[in-house]
């Protein structure tokens, strides 16, 4: 992977890959983490408004161009970042990237379509809360991490959304859509100099530096966690959704990779300890899994399952028993089994990265999160020299003092 910082501090990441398609991502450290208490929902609403028109193209023209040029394209707002991305033929890269750039450099966010788009986001909010598994996670984050941005949903509640104005979004754009906050990643067989010339032609007009007074340093302190079991009732819920959250903010990259290896054994796939004990042996859940979310402002190891209301206490006991088994990993997992886990982990990552858009997105996201887009490739090389004892130490560091949401 090649990395270069352009004149206005935009970071360009380039990975050569044979083929007729080009995938690119434009990621900005302008996600929900950057919002203060009065700005909840701004990052997500701005992402929506980016597609509403420019000085030369209206929304219909943009949509038509997107469909004509791209095999796939999308945008997403997360807590640490917002990302705009797509895949198209090499021959269309110039026009496609120019289209995205026009939208992203359009400082005059229009009132046109603003009310309609807020209505779309309000409906998104309704659907978000109708997803009971998502609601269970949101309540876990709310109860356990109340001093942090993750305690509130990314898109904001209805009251937050209704307060947003065009001027609010212009101010948020002016603060955070700056070169210093932008990473462009490109996976392609096009020559590097050509790719760089297209990006410079379209994005060098963006101002470079952030105001030093608004740089985000809220994630350097020690985390305050409200551990315990929390119960809530959701209207229309015929079952029970359970979410566990464990803090992993103190882990480094090597420890997180060890936790990902553990997670393959513990909660990912039909042979995992969670799946085997809760679904296969007891029939208490259709779906049960665990996952690692190591992103700035999130940093959670999560366990999730659905069961019926009469069985949730039994399910909690079984999850707790699985956690205790995980803490004694060296009594269950031998070196041969660990080698198989490592092989499986590498295969899983390699298959994901075969998709050029996944690779482009991950390079950009890792550059935003860790200032190292190349970490995507380093992860694969890191996994070979782990021991069961080292993984066990990480597990015991993580699997304690959980926040547990029981949604009935």
Predicted model pTM? 0.90
The SS3 call for residue 404 is: strand
pLDDT of residue 329: 92
pLDDT of residue 58: 86
For the chain, domains (ranges, CATH) are 2-214 (3.30.830.10), 228-407 (3.30.830.10)
pLDDT of residue 211: 64
354 burial type by CB count under 10 A (0-12 exposed, 13-18 middle, 19+ buried): exposed
pLDDT of residue 259: 95
Query: Residue 344 in contact with residue 264, Cβ under 8 Å?
Result: yes
Q: What's the CA gap between 153 and 139, in Å, rounded?
A: 10
Q: What's the CA gap between 52 and 29, in Å, rounded?
A: 21
The SS3 call for residue 117 is: helix
Locate 270 and state its tokens: 């039909």
Strand order in the sheet with 300-307: 228-232, 403-407, 240-247, 300-307, 288-293
The SS3 call for residue 304 is: strand
Q: What's the CA gap between 213 and 222, in Å, rounded?
A: 22
Mark out the alpha helices in 72-187 (DSSP H runs). Answer: 93-104, 114-130, 132-144, 158-163, 166-176
pLDDT of residue 219: 52
pLDDT of residue 62: 92
Distances (CA, A) of 121 to 103, 156, 395: 19, 9, 39
In the chain, which stretches have pLDDT less than 70? 107-108, 210-221
For tokens 């513990």, the residue is: 266
pLDDT of residue 106: 78
pLDDT of residue 212: 52
Plot region of 53 (φ>0 → left; ψ -120 to 50 → alpha; else → beta): left
pLDDT of residue 207: 81
């Amino acid at each position: 992977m090649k990395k270069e910082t352009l004149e206005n501090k935009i970071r360009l990441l380039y990975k050569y890959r044979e083929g007729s398609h080009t995938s690119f991502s434009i990621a900005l450290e302008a996600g929900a983490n950057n919002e203060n208490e009065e700005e909840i929902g701004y990052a997500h609403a701005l992402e929506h408004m980016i597609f509403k028109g420019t000085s030369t193209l209206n929304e219909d023209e943009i949509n038509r161009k997107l469909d004509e040029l791209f095999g796939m394209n999308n945008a997403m707002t997360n807590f640490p970042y917002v990302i705009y991305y797509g895949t198209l033929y090499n021959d269309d890269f110039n026009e496609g990237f120019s289209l995205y750039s026009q939208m992203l450099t359009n400082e005059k966010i229009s009132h046109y379509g603003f009310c309609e788009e807020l209505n779309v986001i309000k409906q998104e909010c309704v659907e978000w809360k109708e997803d009971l598994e998502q609601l269970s996670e949101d309540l876990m984050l709310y109860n356990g991490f109340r001093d942090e941005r993750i305690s509130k949903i990314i898109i904001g509640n209805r009251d937050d959304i209704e307060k947003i104005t065009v001027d609010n979004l212009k101010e948020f754009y002016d603060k955070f859509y700056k070169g210093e906050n932008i990473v462009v990643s490109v996976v392609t067989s096009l020559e590097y100099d050509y790719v760089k010339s297209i990006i410079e032609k379209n994005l060098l007009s963006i101002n470079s530096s952030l105001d030093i007074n608004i740089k985000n340093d809220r994630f350097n302190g020690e985390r305050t966690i409200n551990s315990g079991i929390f119960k809530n009732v959701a209207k229309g819920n015929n079952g029970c959704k359970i979410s566990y959250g464990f803090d992993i903010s103190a882990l480094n990259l090597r420890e997180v990779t060890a936790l990902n290896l553990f997670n393959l054994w513990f909660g990912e796939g039909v042979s995992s300890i969670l799946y085997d004990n809760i679904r296969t042996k007891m029939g208490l859940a259709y779906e049960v899994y665990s996952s690692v979310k190591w992103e700035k402002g999130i940093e959670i190891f999560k366990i999730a399952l659905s069961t019926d209301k009469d069985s949730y206490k039994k399910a909690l006991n079984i999850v707790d028993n699985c956690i205790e088994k995980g803490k004694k990993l060296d009594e269950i997992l031998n070196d041969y089994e660990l080698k198989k886990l490592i092989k499986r982990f590498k295969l899983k990552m390699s298959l994901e990265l075969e998709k050029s858009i996944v690779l482009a997105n991950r390079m950009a996201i890792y550059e935003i999160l860790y200032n190292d887009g190349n970490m995507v490739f380093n992860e694969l090389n890191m996994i070979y020299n782990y021991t069961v004892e080292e993984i066990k130490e990480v597990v015991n560091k993580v699997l304690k003092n959980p926040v547990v949401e029981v949604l009935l």
